[in-house]
Amino acid sequence: MQHHVPGKKVIVIGAGFAGLAAAASLAQAGYQVTLLEKNEVAGGRARVFEAEGFTFDMGPSWYWMPDVFEQYFQKFGKTTADYYDLKRLDPSYQVLYAPQDVMELPAAMPQLEALFESLEPGSAAKLRDFLKQAAYKYEVGINNLVYKPSRSFTEFIDMKLLVDVLRLDVFQSMHKHVRKYFKHPRLIQLMEFPILFLGALPQNTPALYSLMNYADMSLGTWYPMGGMHKIVEGMVALAKEQGVEIRLGEEVKKLELNSDHITQVITTQGSYEADIVIGGSDYHHIETQLLPPAFRTYTDKYWDSRVMAPSSLIFFLGIDKKLEGLRHHNLFFDEDFGPHAHEIYTEPAWPKKPLFYVSVPSKTDATVAPEGKENVFILIPVAPGLQDSEQVREHYYQMVMERLEKITGQEIRTQVLYKRSYAHQDFIKDYHAFKGNAYGLANTLLQTAILKPSLKSKKVRNLFYTGQLTVPGPGVPPSLISGQVVAAEVVKEFALQETSLPVV
């Protein structure tokens, strides 16, 4: 591979999962790679901070699809175990409905089937059928479709793939698909929960995404000991082993062009020559703030018409005691989410009675909190594009804490040693996040594959994009895949163009 790229300089903007994966993959292929990150810590939304003896993961907290991480490290002759220690959680998570009304999701399939059967006779067999089909979608979707660059329809014109696409239920909604198998409201809610966090109503989400249920129930929920940032530390170490230069605390301010290609990347610290640029930070920000208007691929109208996944209001809490009745992952379905679901996904308004999620990593990992104390992360999915203020944040803090205390039957607020909130303004300040989004674009049918913003600029010859606003979509494994997909496209394109590249 290396003979194609003597001295080709690649600048990657943004050290999130996608940027790190793209940088390491291109360095492995022989490119000279510099990774520029505006924040002082790598990881993008998966940064980490410490306060009062607590270590808080700032963003992603679920470790699903372990095979995607394993395959990534194996590309470099490594395994995840070279960098971090994974533990499978059992129960995977629990759902809390009311005081003394809690449902734990066992990791083992026989117990999971027994749980389904106890709620709805005959549903164990249906769960087996559902997951068998979901496993097929996972194999084809993750191994074939997701690693495609989605730049044109021709990528999908392989007869087997076309048959697969129909079998993958791309044109049926998740809402209908789930209800073909299950009737009990709790089972329906359970099957729809993974996609609620991926950003659209089940009515608008292709049934393809039942592959998330397979990831959840069959592949399991895991945790890297020390916290999610351990994955980032592993990826940073790996990138450096490949020869990537990582520069933290250096924000890109401008891209300088000569006709239709970028020649220089200007940062707060200086400037870098570039043969190829990969935008792993917010796509909208790069398009609208770093490029001259004539070189944007998409209009403001286009961006405003995108259906965004939810943003988040997050609370990081350090608690001065051990908490009862909570597991590592806890979903609070104490309010009937059904009638209120549209508030998060379609209306630019603060929800009246949001569901919320609580992660207590100190239940699994003693290193993230001082002895006898608890590390608590609370996430409320909310619409993007909202005006958030301290008063609004405090209102939701009191609301969810009241529900948390009531359902678990204990006083918590009086024991809070440390508290920090994080919402839209912070996502914008830290990541230039479009509309303060947390997860990127919703996985609707009209925003799947080639209908997402393209990973290659249509106006700038040597500009590519990676991350949650392009293919394949939101979430940590898709971002990790996105970085690898864009790297493969760069290698392919620049090997083809070697003779006709502009000399910088």
Query: pLDDT digit string (tens) for 48-95?
Result: 999 999 999 999 999 999 999 999 999 999 999 999 999 999 999 999
Omega within 30 of 0 (cis) for the link into 60: no
Mean of pLDDT values over 283-309:
96
Helix axes 109-119, 123-140, angle to 10 degrees: 130
Mean of pLDDT values over 338-342:
65
Q: Work out the pLDDT band at 502, boundaries 50, 70, 90.
A: very low
What is the model's pLDDT at position 501?
Answer: 46
Please provide the size of the chain in residues.
504
**What DSSP state is assigned to residue 143?**
I
* Strand pairing report for 276-279 and 9-13: parallel
What is the model's pLDDT at position 339?
Answer: 60
Q: For residue 381, which of 457, 280, 311, 436 has the smallest C-alpha distance? A: 311
What is the model's pLDDT at position 6?
Answer: 56
Return d(Cα 126, Cα 181) in angstroms, integer: 6
Report the share of the chain in percent with pLDDT over 70: 92
What is the model's pLDDT at position 7?
Answer: 66
Query: pLDDT digit string (tens) for 445-459?
Result: 888 888 899 999 999
Question: What integer best gives the mean pLDDT of the chain?
Answer: 92
Task: Name the CATH superfamily, with its identifier, for domain 2-84+226-305+440-496.
Answer: FAD/NAD(P)-binding domain (3.50.50.60)
Using CB atoms within 10 Å of the CB of residue 299, give its burial: 0 to 12 exposed, 13 to 18 middle, 19+ buried. Answer: exposed
What is the model's pLDDT at position 4?
Answer: 42
Asked if residues 23 and 35 have their Cβ atoms less than 8 Å apart, the reply is yes
Look-up: residue for tokens 């971090």?
Answer: 84
Q: For residue 166, which of 140, 191, 129 has the smallest C-alpha distance? A: 140
What is the model's pLDDT at position 146?
Answer: 85
Residue 308 CB partners (closer than 8 Å, separation 6+): 199, 384, 385, 434, 435, 437, 440, 441, 442
Q: 19 is written with which tokens? A: 């940027």
What is the model's pLDDT at position 192?
Answer: 93
Q: Work out the pLDDT band at 503, boundaries 50, 70, 90.
A: very low
- pLDDT(246) > 70: yes
User: What's the CATH code, domain 308-431?
Assistant: 3.30.519
Q: For residue 153, which of 165, 137, 171 has the smallest C-alpha distance? A: 165
Query: pLDDT digit string (tens) for 126-174?
Result: 999 999 999 999 998 888 778 888 888 777 666 566 667 678 888 899 9
What is the model's pLDDT at position 497?
Answer: 64
Q: pTM of whole model > 0.85?
A: yes
Return d(Cα 8, Cα 316) in angstroms, integer: 43
Provide Rg for the chain, Cα atoms: 22
Least confident of 4-8, 116-120, 328-332, 401-405: 4-8
- pLDDT(307) > 80: yes
Positive or negative, the CA dihedral 38, 41, 42, 45 is negative
Domain boundaries, the chain: 2-84+226-305+440-496, 113-219, 308-431
